[in-house]
């Protein structure tokens, strides 16, 4: 089922998604610089972003 949404709600959803992805990218870049390992940074960012969602019962 698809719920109707106004144009303003759609713009807010797109902007919020873009902001979340931008913050995740900056966080990964910062952790990559600190850890000196891209694989470690990717793992850490995924853990920081996904694990709280899963532990809160989001899935």
- What tens digit of pLDDT does each residue of 9-57 get? 999 999 999 998 898 888 888 888 888 877 888 888 888 888 888 888 7
> What is the reported pLDDT for 9?
93
For the chain, the structural domain boundaries read: 24-59
45 contacts: CB under 8 Å, gap ≥ 6: 24, 27, 28, 31
Output the pTM of the full model.
0.64
């Amino acid at each position: 089922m698809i719920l109707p949404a106004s144009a303003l709600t759609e713009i807010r959803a797109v902007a919020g998604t873009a902001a979340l992805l931008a913050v995740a990218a900056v966080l990964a870049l910062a952790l990559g610089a600190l850890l000196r390992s891209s694989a470690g940074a990717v793992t850490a960012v995924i853990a920081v972003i996904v694990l709280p969602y899963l532990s809160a019962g989001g899935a």
